[in-house]
Every structure is written in structure tokens, then in C-alpha cells.
Amino acid sequence: MLSIVVPCFNEEASLPIFFEETEKVKRQLNMPFEYIFVNDGSSDQTLPVLRELYRAHPDSVRYLSFSRNFGKEAALYAGLQAAKGDFVTVMDADLQDPPSLLPEMFALLRSKPELDCVGTRRADRKGEPKIRSFFSNSFYNIINKIADTEMVNGARDFRLMRRNMVDAVLQLSEYNRFSKGIFSWVGFDTEYIAYENRERVAGETSWSFWKLFQYSIDGIVNFSDTPLNIASFIGALSCLGSLIALVFIVIRTFIFGDPTSGWPSMVSIFLFVGGLQLLCLGIIGKYIGKIFLETKNRPLYFLKETEEDQEKPK
């Protein structure tokens, strides 16, 4: 059986189109399907749409509804937990992950028994603002340099996994979830299929530039401690520098006396060192914040409703 996990946040307009498209593929694939829609605290009609879908297709549709918006990462985790299939795929509801790729992904997975996962990545960054592509590419350059976990540039969350890999992902129950990293951290053999990027069919993206920026910082902090090393390195360097300067000044004063001292340079140095300290404190604070959230050990989400709360239609 194949489980399709779909996180949904305000997707009332996309869901019916998504379902229709996927049903078409289902006929091609000719294997049992199970949909798991996760309503991530939508404020629109997503939940009624899901109830409707369940009533119309009680045998293949399941849904989970969160008590509030917990974010896509939590929705993915909940969906994976609920999935019962031997194969599991995760897809966005906005058709940016085209279901029509599924047969190709299946064929690839079947043709190579040693493969555990077929992922997708965008072939290029056409149609994206230049500046955004620049930041995205820089992010991947940086993170691949400083983190041990390899992150594939342009890889999407859309992937088809075998059960063994799903179980591995589920064992990482950390609170700070960065899926791109988690999927690659667990290892297993993954091959990527490239495809042309598409616009979402309806609704709006929930990602602003600022959110993406924070997401990338999260990715770095979650998978690398290099920023901490850089901070200590800069600290050590400036310590050494100032020590040499101190010796130099003391000796110079002994030899030449102390002419009018330059306080502007003094102030600059204070500011510089103060700034450095704040920067390093900020970096350390980032990690402490993560530890703080992690040690609270809170559940990743709360369910308010699932399809089991509904009477099973005949």
C-alpha cells in the first residue's frame, strides 16, 4: 500500500484540485492508496473540505486535524506517524509537487532494489526573483561547507520512501525539526528526479522572505556547530591581537613617553570588541534557545479531530 501524506494549511482552494489530480494517477498506478491529510490549524474551510472528502471516500481518505498551527514540520511528522503503507510519499497540497511524477518515482524505486527513497528537486530556479535565488544558493553553499549532513540544492520535501526509511525518520522526534536535514541525516540511498518548478494552483504561499531567512538559520544551527567554533576562533584571535598591541604600547611608552593619546581609536576598538562580544553571545544564545525548547520535551502537536471521530459512512 502507498500512503500519501499531505500537510494542509489554508488549502481549501487547492485541495479539491489536488485530490482530483492524484486520483488520476492512482488509476495509472493500480495499487492501494491511503491519503493522510493533516490540517495544520487552518483558519479557512480546509477542515470541512477534508470532512467532505472523507465522507465521499471513506476507504482511502484519512485526516488529522491539529488544535492550532504547529507548522509544516510537525504536520509532516504527524502524517508519517499515521501512515501505514509500505511506501510513503509526502506532498504539498498546492500541486507544486506534481502527482504525475509518482509513476516515474515508483518505476525508479522498483528498478533498483537497493534504493530506499526517490526524492525530487527542482531543475532550475527559473521564475524565482534573482535575489532569492542568490540567497538560496548561498544557503546551500554555506550549509554544505559547515554541516556534516549533505543538503541537496533545490531538493523538495516531495519524496517516496520505503518503510525502513520512514521508521528511521520517525525515531528522530526532536522538537526543532528541519526536514531537509533530517531526511538526509538518516542516510539510506536516495536518488533525485529533477523537474521544472511550478506555481501553486491556488491560495498563497505561507513563506515570506524573513521566514525563509529564519528557516535557513534554523537549518544551520540544527545541523552544525561551526558557528560556535567560528565565534571562539574570532574571540581567540582578537584576544591575541590585543595582547600583542598591549605589549607594543607598553614598550613604546617606556621608550618615547606618552604623547597625547588618541581616544577616537580607543573608542573604535571598544566598539569593535563590544560588537564582537554581542555577536558571539547571539550565536551562543541561538543554541541555548534550541536547547531550552528541546529540554521542555513538549509534544510536537496536539490533535483535535481525526476521521475516526466521524461516523463511518456506508
Residues that bind Mg ion (CB under 5 A): 92, 94, 96, 200
Contact between 81 and ligand UDP (CB under 6 A)? no
Given candidates 49, 90, 93, 280, which one binds ligand UDP under the rule CB under 6 A?
93
The β-bridge relationship of strands 87-90 and 2-8 is parallel
Cβ at position 205, least distance to Mg ion in Å:
6
Amino acid sitting at position 290: K
Contact between 214 and ligand UDP (CB under 6 A)? no
Contact between 8 and ligand UDP (CB under 6 A)? yes
Q: Which is nearer to Mg ion, 114 or 199 (CB)?
A: 199
Distance CA 200, CA 64 (A): 23
Span of 105-113, 126-134, 203-211, 235-243 interacting with ligand UDP by CB under 6 A: 203-211
Contact between 11 and ligand UDP (CB under 6 A)? yes
Q: Which is nearer to Mg ion, 11 or 116 (CB)?
A: 11
Contact between 12 and ligand UDP (CB under 6 A)? no
Cβ at position 32, least distance to ligand UDP in Å:
23
Q: Which is nearer to ligand UDP, 216 or 280 (CB)?
A: 216
Cβ at position 180, least distance to ligand UDP in Å:
11
Cβ at position 88, least distance to ligand UDP in Å:
16
Q: Which is nearer to ligand UDP, 181 or 227 (CB)?
A: 181
Cβ at position 237, least distance to Mg ion in Å:
43
Given CA atoms 196, 201, 206, 209 in this order, what sign does their dihedral have? positive
Binding residues (CB under 6 A) for ligand UDP: these are: 7-9, 11, 40, 69, 71-72, 75, 92-94, 96, 200, 205-207
